[in-house]
């Protein structure tokens, strides 16, 4: 499930959730869903990047997203229920020729510093 949001150079696709039932895992369904969202965000919505948030402890998901070309853009302290940190991961799309959207921030942020446009 995903959407597009933001303004200007922050116009982006956002992965709200990717869930694959256990009996259908290891069939690259998550990869196909991610590729579809990326293609729509890139070619139809003309977004600059796609982003998603993942629990810092979810190593299998982080590794999957990295294999798909996502980088850890920033850490959001206590993002999940005020307890666990979240990682904001991003992948630049073709409109972001200079790849500005994926230059990692050097410091973690707090949830109140997030922009929700």
CATH of 3-113, one of 3.20.20.70, 3.40.630.30, 3.40.50.2000, 3.30.479.30: 3.40.630.30
pLDDT of residue 35: 97
- What is the pTM (predicted TM-score) of this model? 0.93
Question: What residues does each domain of the chain span?
Answer: 3-113
pLDDT digits (tens, 9 = 90+) for 36-46: 999 999 999 99
pLDDT of residue 115: 79
pLDDT of residue 116: 63
Tokens found for residue 58:
């979810």
Question: Long-range contact list for 101-106, CB < 8 A, 24+ apart?
Answer: 101/9, 101/12, 101/48, 101/49, 101/73, 102/49, 102/71, 102/73, 104/71, 104/72, 104/73, 104/74, 105/73, 105/74
pLDDT digits (tens, 9 = 90+) for 45-94: 999 999 999 999 999 999 999 999 999 999 999 999 989 999 999 999 99
């Amino acid at each position: 499930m995903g959407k597009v949001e933001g303004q200007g150079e922050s116009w982006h696709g956002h992965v709200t959730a990717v869930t694959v039932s256990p009996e259908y895992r290891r069939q690259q369904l998550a990869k196909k869903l991610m590729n579809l969202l990326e293609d729509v965000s890139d070619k139809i919505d003309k977004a600059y990047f796609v982003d998603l948030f993942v629990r810092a402890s979810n190593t299998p998901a982080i590794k999957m997203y990295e294999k798909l070309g996502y980088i850890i853009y920033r850490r959001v302290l206590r993002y999940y229920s005020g307890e666990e940190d979240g990682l904001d991961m991003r992948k630049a799309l073709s409109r972001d020729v200079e790849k500005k959207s994926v230059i990692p921030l050097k410091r973690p942020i707090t949830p109140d510093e997030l922009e929700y446009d």
